[in-house]
């Protein structure tokens, strides 16, 4: 199990004899207590890992009923801006890929029809 900064700093402060006697279940419980999950089950939950030239990339799409408070939504909009260079390039790539695939389908259909 990989420890994040919160759990790592907690484990560093434990006496070595206590740390040595922790079971895997106890370590997992500590990790869950240090990192409460804000992700719940969503009706739409798509998670992909895409291999790339410089490493692996992930794409996560979740959807469902909005349960966040308006204050949290405002705070997260400031932290995670929609209009960034990375998001723009991603959307252009997806849009370009969609139109390229559609053009290939149309071209293949026209070739099959003998035009």
Let me know whether 28 and 80 are in one domain.
Answer: no
**Residue 50 domain-assigned (yes or no):** yes
**pLDDT confidence band for 3 (50 / 70 / 90):** very low
Q: Per-residue pLDDT tens for 69-84?
A: 899 899 989 888 889 9
Handedness of CA 55, 5, 48, 70 (dihedral sign): negative
Model-wide pTM > 0.85 = no
Q: Alpha carbon of 93 to those of 2, 47, 55, 61, 63: distances in Å? A: 33, 19, 18, 17, 22
Let me know whether 79 and 106 are in one domain.
Answer: yes
Let me know whether 52 and 94 are in one domain.
Answer: yes
**Residue 39 domain-assigned (yes or no):** no
Instruction: Give residue 11's domain range.
Output: 5-34
Q: Per-residue pLDDT tens for 12-57?
A: 888 888 888 988 888 888 877 776 666 667 899 999 999 989 999 9
Let me know whether 85 and 48 are in one domain.
Answer: yes
Let me know whether 76 and 107 are in one domain.
Answer: yes
Count of domains observed in the chain? 2
């Amino acid at each position: 199990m990989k420890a994040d900064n919160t759990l790592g700093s907690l484990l560093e402060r434990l006496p070595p004899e206590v740390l040595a006697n922790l079971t895997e279940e106890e370590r997992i419980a500590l990790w869950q207590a240090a990192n409460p999950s804000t992700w719940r089950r969503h009706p739409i939950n798509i998670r992909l890992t895409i291999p790339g030239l410089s490493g692996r990339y992930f794409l996560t799409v979740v959807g469902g009923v909005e349960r966040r408070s308006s204050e949290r939504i405002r705070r997260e909009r400031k932290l995670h801006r929609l209009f960034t260079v990375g998001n723009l390039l991603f959307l252009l790539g997806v849009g370009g890929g969609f139109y390229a695939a559609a053009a290939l389908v149309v071209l293949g259909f026209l070739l099959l029809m003998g035009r």
